[in-house]
């Protein structure tokens, strides 16, 4: 086990890397398709049709490259979340297990974003080209993306952002408070084991709501949608727990403060 003084900077470095990657992911998924779309060579008429695209190496090669990047990210994100790997990491890295997982996920996502190959000549599933749609659809998409990201950040705070990033585990360890998850109720632990991605709906909105859905964006949206769907396993017991927690929080917020009725 590393000395306590070395644990804090290691956890902070992982947090900074994850935070920077999150900012870059917002640019990659929202700002680039909404604000930074470059015109295709030769205009829309130069794009391939769907049947011609499956025979064009200039389209298939970058798509295969992008698919490999996505599979690398999904494989890392899933493999390191298994109980066997988590137990091994806890054995050798101790309380830094969560921070290491977050750092590796951020690095894998950085590889996807930095080496992603656009396919400008590929076919598109939809595109807002004619006015007034060419003006209003990007604006509507921008507003929906802003709302989605605000919801994502709010939900992450509700789900204990410090614990998700591994900071809370190190903080509790240094103070001798034990494991943060040990203080949570069995129903909360059961929910966390089923709900690996608490921002699924909002991420789907970001992935699909774009003014132009090209070939590489379609690949990104399809694969991540499939992954997010498989990562969820909520049942009626989980939903009842979520509803009970929401009602409890609403009751606390609506309860009058002391002295208010006097």
Q: Is the pLDDT of residue 262 over 60?
A: no
Q: Which of 65-74, 128-137, 200-209 has the lowest mean pLDDT?
A: 128-137
The answer to whether the CB of 33 falls within 8 A of the CB of 212 is: yes
178: left (phi over 0), alpha (psi -120 to 50) or beta: left
Per DSSP (E only), the strands in the chain are 126-127, 212-213
| 164, two tokens | 């998700």
Q: Is the pLDDT of residue 176 over 60?
A: yes
- Confidence class for position 41, pLDDT limits 50, 70, 90: very low
Q: Is the pLDDT of residue 181 over 60?
A: no
d(CA 169, CA 97): 9
- Confidence class for position 43, pLDDT limits 50, 70, 90: very low
| 133, two tokens | 């749609």
Q: Report which of residues 183 and 215 the model is more confident about.
A: 215
Segment 220-249 shows an average pLDDT of: 67
Domain-by-domain residue ranges, the chain? Answer: 4-252
Token pair 């137990």 is found at: 87
If you count DSSP H runs as helices and E runs as strands, how many of each does the chain have, helices first?
13, 2
pLDDT in tens, 132-170: 888 899 899 999 999 999 888 877 766 667 777 877 788
pLDDT in tens, 103-123: 999 999 999 999 999 988 888
Q: Report which of residues 172 and 247 the model is more confident about.
A: 172
The answer to whether the CB of 102 falls within 8 A of the CB of 165 is: yes
Examine residue 78 and say whether the peptide bond preceding it is cis (omega within 30 degrees of 0): no
């Amino acid at each position: 086990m590393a000395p306590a003084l070395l644990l804090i900077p290691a956890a902070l470095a992982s947090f900074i890397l994850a935070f920077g990657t999150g900012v870059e992911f917002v640019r990659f998924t929202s700002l680039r398709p909404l604000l930074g779309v470059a015109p295709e060579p030769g205009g829309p008429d130069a794009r391939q049709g769907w049947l011609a695209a499956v025979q064009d190496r200039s389209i298939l090669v970058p798509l295969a490259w992008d698919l490999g990047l996505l599979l690398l990210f999904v494989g890392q994100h899933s493999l390191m979340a298994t109980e066997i790997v988590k137990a091994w990491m806890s054995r050798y890295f101790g309380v830094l297990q969560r921070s290491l997982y977050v750092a590796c996920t951020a690095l894998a996502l950085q590889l996807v974003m930095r080496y992603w190959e656009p396919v400008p000549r590929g076919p598109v599933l939809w595109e807002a080209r004619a006015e007034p749609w060419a003006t209003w659809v990007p604006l509507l998409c921008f507003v929906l993306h802003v709302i989605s990201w605000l919801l994502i950040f709010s939900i992450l705070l509700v789900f204990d952002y410090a614990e998700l990033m591994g900071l809370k585990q190190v903080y509790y360890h240094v103070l001798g408070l034990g494991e943060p998850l040990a203080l949570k109720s069995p129903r909360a632990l059961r929910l966390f084991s089923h709900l690996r991605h608490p921002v699924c709906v909002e991420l789907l909105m970001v992935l699909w709501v774009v003014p132009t859905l090209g070939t590489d964006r379609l690949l990104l949206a399809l694969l991540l949608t499939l992954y997010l769907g498989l990562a969820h396993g909520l049942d009626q017991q989980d939903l009842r727990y979520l509803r009970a927690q929401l009602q409890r929080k609403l009751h606390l917020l609506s309860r009058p403060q002391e002295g208010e009725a006097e």
